[in-house]
Amino acid sequence: MLDPADLDAADPLAFARGRFRIPDGLIYLDGNSLGVLPKSTPARLGVTSEQEWGDGLISSWNAAGWIDWPLSIAARLAPLVGASPDELLICDSTSINLFKLAMAACALRPDRKVILTEEANFPTDLYMLQSAAKLSGAELRAVPRSELSAALDQTVGLLSLTHVDYRSGERHDLAGLTGEAHRAGALTLWDLSHSAGVLAVDLARANADFALGCGYKYLSGGPGAPAFLFVRRGLQQLCTNPLPGWFGHESPFDFDTGYRPATGIARFQTGTPPILAMAALDEGLKLFANVDTADVEAKTGRLGDLFIENVGDCLALASPRDAGRRGGHIVFAHDAAYSIVQASIERGVIGDFRAPNLARFGFAPLSLTYSEVAKAGAIVRDVVLSDYWREPRFAERKAVT
């Protein structure tokens, strides 16, 4: 078994832990749902609200650079996903961005009437793709993961997948499937919500077309943080934003009655950027400055391995055992998964439950130590083996998020 103290001593990301505020005694393994708070964020919100908004008022759109934040904050994300800064934008929500990009992609392949996805994709992806397909005169075809390659026929205009499955943690081969899609004449749209910030995503090397992701998970942007979107540079000028708000106009403050899209990625903006929320996301992204994504991915995998080893065989692993095939989280299947999660929370280990029978634990590599992850695994093991989870108070279902 790996020695957690040795791993911590050699951890090139160890410096980051102290930059997060983590409640005493808590081992938080739910950063895949809501990332922990960077210590710098409250003060940044103070500056943005009091100095920039309160004192600077309207002049801060220029003086504080607010007008550029959708692009300038996105630039901090670029190395994490293997993109150029001019291929990324911070805006709207994951759901909205999925709609924008799926519609844009369909318009580029008018003769191909199928959006292909997998049936176990995250629900909001399925819902938004369904709507985008309908409005594009296309059809959403959702197949089992194992049938994706075979389904890539000449009717498919867009392959839209989530890189890391929100339940199993299983990772798609992003580069491989992008290549397959391209050889079949289709474009690709990747949801990186569960991979940005934990894996060494490389959109450029994969020659990926479109991507997007969430700001509030591993990027620690805060609850409901703005999302990001990516469009490969070569496609940008060909694309139409189906939600063409004034901030995507070539010159918003000309107040033209006719829409002229901005050059490049900026055309994917819609409404006025949410400045306070973007300030918080900026603080989360700053913590990744000068971090090597190879180190990030390596630590993510080792944290998961360590947890699996410490939990042992008392729970059935429902994620790939090979870290190279996983994202940042791991699930175990057990009929009493709900109660096991609740009992573990009472013992200070925060995971979450996913119906019908999954206990899920996420491993944010910047804010976790190997030692606490090993300890958390041992706690969960004890909760299961001691039958602690059978206490009646853990049986009652509460609303979970």
User: Any idea which residues carry the catalytic annotation?
Assistant: 122, 191, 216-217, 360
350 part of the interface to a copy of itself, by CB under 8 A? yes
Task: Sort strands 210-213 and 187-191 into parallel, antiparallel or unpaired.
Answer: parallel
To a copy of itself, the closest distance from the beta carbon of 155 in angstroms equals 22
List beta partners, residue 230: 88, 211
> Restricting to residues 117-136, which ones interact with a copy of itself according to CB under 8 A?
119-124, 126-128, 130-131, 135
Q: Which of 25, 253, 289, 396 binds a copy of itself (CB under 8 A)?
A: 253
Cβ 232 to a copy of itself shortest distance, Å = 23
Residues between 307 and 336 with contacts to a copy of itself, criterion CB under 8 A: none
Q: Give whichever of 57 and 385 is closer to a copy of itself, judged by the CB atom.
A: 57
**92 touches a copy of itself by CB under 8 A:** yes
Cβ closest to a copy of itself, residue 277 vs residue 359:
277
Closest approach, Cβ 289 to a copy of itself, in A, equals 21
Instruction: Name which position in 33, 160, 293, 369 contacts a copy of itself (CB under 8 A).
Output: 33
Q: How far is the CB of 140 from a copy of itself (least distance, A)?
A: 11
- The residue written with tokens 């491989």 in the block is 176
393 binds a copy of itself (CB under 8 A): no
CB-hemisphere CA count at 13 Å for 258?
A: 1
Considering only the stretches 113-121, 154-162, 181-189, 293-301, report the one whose residues sit in contact with a copy of itself under the rule CB under 8 A.
Answer: 113-121
> What string marks each residue from 352 to 391 as x (binds a copy of itself by CB under 8 A) or -?
x-xx------------------------------------
CB of residue 397 vs a copy of itself: minimum separation in angstroms? Answer: 11
Give the footprint of a copy of itself on residues 271-310 (CB under 8 A).
271-278, 280
Among 95, 155, 357, 371, binds a copy of itself (CB under 8 A): 95
C-beta separation of 302 from 323 below 8 A: yes
Task: State yes or no: residue 142 binds a copy of itself (CB under 8 A).
Answer: yes
Which one among 21, 205, 321, 390 touches a copy of itself, defined by CB under 8 A? 21
Q: Toward a copy of itself, which CB reaches closer, 64 or 323?
A: 64
What are 352's strand-pairing partners?
360
Considering the complex, what minimum distance in angstroms separates the CB of residue 227 from a copy of itself?
7
The interface with a copy of itself within residues 47-76 (CB under 8 A) comprises 49-50, 53-55, 57-58, 60-62, 66-67
Q: Which two tokens stand for residue 142?
A: 């959702």
**Residue 322 beta carbon to a copy of itself: minimum distance, rounded to whole angstroms:** 25
Please report, as a single letter, which amino acid is at residue 379.
I
Q: Which of residues 207-226 bind a copy of itself (CB under 8 A)?
A: 214, 216, 222-226
299: left (phi over 0), alpha (psi -120 to 50) or beta: alpha
Among 185, 245, 264, 348, binds a copy of itself (CB under 8 A): 245
CB of 223 to a copy of itself, least distance (A): 4
Of 226 and 301, which has the nearer Cβ to a copy of itself? 226
Q: Is 228 one of the binding residues for a copy of itself (CB under 8 A)?
A: no
Query: Which residues face 30 on adjacent strands?
Result: none
For a copy of itself, give the closer residue by CB, 152 or 280. 280
